[in-house]
Structure 1
């Protein structure tokens, strides 16, 4: 891999992390009553997304839809089979209860995501039209409006779910 190729992926990772961090900062600023600060963080987060997408595109990492679904399945599968189980073990060994809980939530949600991607890949030529709803507590993704009594991963109430546009 060339140095430029390495730099593109490092820049992609850095810009992606900045986007997420700034969105978290925006939510905190909003909660603390600083709407203008929140607006600035959201604007910067959006700009970081523009940068990240350009770096990923220039690295040649965006394929056609089928290739992208295969890549997403591989990434989610790696997360729930390898990455999060190790993190869960480490958090448990270190007595980090909050990290353990959220690593476990993420692990279970990633398996659902891989399943949803596989389902979409299998029906790529004739997909079932549906909306998706996410649990705001654990990141579980549900096909169609959530009508259960509680989230199957974190036991959050149905009010924790929101429609993804």
Structure 2
């Protein structure tokens, strides 16, 4: 993405750490959590690679096209999964935002647009700002996971508060990437 190198590397680290945690969440005993974690891991690692500062490496045009294809596929998968779980609509918006950013990077690598914020960029900024605020509020009252027989030990992949932090950090990363677009 465009912008200074230091914040770019911090964004790379945040997104890569989030993607790594999402890989851990894929070990959950709950199938729906595993599926959601897989999509979130793809998003985290994709964001990490996309956030590498352009001062370090400027990818060739075909890389951005490949990003658009991969995240277009992720968007279609999220659209299909949204039939049964509305949480996947958020994945659809995130994957769509990645396609949009990849297309923007493919069309003008290394150049800033100074004509104001594009309407789609503004809409995505508004969506992710609201999502960040909503997710932050939801972190406060997390309840413990319990089974029918009482409380149980919860593994790293099944901690609801960590899954929410994962989603929150990716939304913050998305905001940062959209701001540099």
TM-score, reference length from structure 1: 0.32
TM-score, reference length from structure 2: 0.30
More strand by share: 1
Pair member with larger Rg:
1
